[in-house]
Chain A
Amino acid sequence: MADGPRLSHTSAMILQALGIGHIYGYTVMEATGLPSGTVYPALRRLERDQLIRSHWERQSLADVALRPPRKYYKLTRSGEAALEASRKRYPLLAKLVPAEEVEDA
């Protein structure tokens, strides 16, 4: 019935942030301006819907950088399609979450 995934504005912003390389929770928060209580449940919901997937950074890499390991998020193929559809649906999405803010993808 649906011609493609239909996302809420918040989910679309988070997908956009992930799509341009903000690959962990805190940077998604910074990029979107959404609070932690919105971003993390949304990330879990998107992962449940198989629009994104997550993986933990290797402990050895985190040890070298003297910090705890992080959980990284990445768009799946259907997530990329959903993002593309959302960009058409929300033309201002790219302006709300601009790509030039990414530092360490």
Chain B
Amino acid sequence: MNTAWLQYTPLRVASFLAPGDRRAEWFQEWRSELWYIPRRGAMRFCLGAFRDALWLRRNNLSSVQSVRIHLESPLHCLVFLATLAALSAFIALRLPAPEGLTPASHLRPLDLPLGCVAMLIYTGLLLPTTRLVMGRAPANSQPRPWPGRLRRGIFLALKIALVQPVMLCGFLVLAAIGAVPLAPLGVCAAWILTLRWVLIDQRRRCPVCLRVLGNPVRIGSPSQTFLEWYGAESICSRGHGLMQIPEVSTSYSGTGQWLRLGRSWSSLFSTTAGARR
């Protein structure tokens, strides 16, 4: 009788991959379907739930929007990362030294910047590979002035610098709980995921004001288009332009495109028109 919860365990684990606002309904549907599945095929059936949950996460535009509201402004994003970095540094300094690794009792405050610099060098090695795996950034057909490019570069560099204490803290936590053999592997995986987030966040921002693009709408349909792109289109809340991200990268649609909006659109963004450059 106690096997019911065991049967639902894979579904519960998979449900964490589904976006929060649709998780309950997603789980209800899979649990309902599982009720009809013969016991011998239940596990195989449940494995499909992971793929379905991942699909739902990738294609759920509303959850992406709600998460990004908090990090919409570049300043908010940097403040958030700085707070996280300070908290991580505090935790790292408070952690006990791992047994058998170093005789020192605690990490000294001076070691922290050195550790972060070492992590930064490692990041410098990982960054080109991560960028290569992620593909080219969305194309911008119109030339951007150098101050804008510089500001964008500084923003990216600050984000990368601020995630280093978080990564270092994660490494020390793994070492402190005794998972030393796993620490390099875990940190490497977390590193790649964090860098990936930093780059994705960078690509989903307006190249002009660096605010996260919002109001995503789906354009086209995979089953109804021929030689036309389909995917999501997001807009800058200040009216600087549109970002078109194709769902599938093709030779004719590439990895994405930034379309700058002309002055004729400014009336649609009247409340923020003054902020436009």
Interface residues of A (CB under 8 A from B): 1-2, 5-8, 11, 24-26, 35-41, 44-46, 48-49, 51, 67-71, 82
Contacts and interface: CB of A to CB of B under 8 A. Distances in A.
Contacts of A41: 51-52, 55-56
B101 interface: no
Interface of B: 28-33, 35-37, 44-52, 55-56, 59, 218, 221-228
Contact of A36 (B45, B56, B227): B45
Contacts of A7: 223
17 contacts: A5-B224, A6-B224, A24-B33, A25-B33, A36-B33, A36-B45, A36-B47, A36-B48, A36-B49, A37-B52, A40-B52, A41-B51, A44-B59, A48-B218, A67-B35, A68-B32, A68-B35
Contacts of A40: 30, 48-49, 51-52
A5 B221 CA distance: 9
Contacts of B47: 36-37
B226 A49 contact: no
B32 A2 contact: no
Nearest to A27: B36
Contacts of B30: 40
A71 B227 contact: no
Contact of A25 (B29, B51, B221): B29
Chain B interface secondary structure, helix, strand, loop or mixed? helix
Nearest to A86: B223
A35 B32 contact: no
Contact of A37 (B50, B56, B222, B225): B50
B32 A69 contact: yes
A67 B46 CA distance: 19
Contact of B224 (A2, A38, A71): A2
Contacts of B225: 1-2
Nearest to B218: A48
A37 to B, nearest CB: 3
Contacts of B32: 68-71
Nearest to B46: A36
A38 B222 contact: no
Contact of B223 (A5, A25, A37, A38): A5
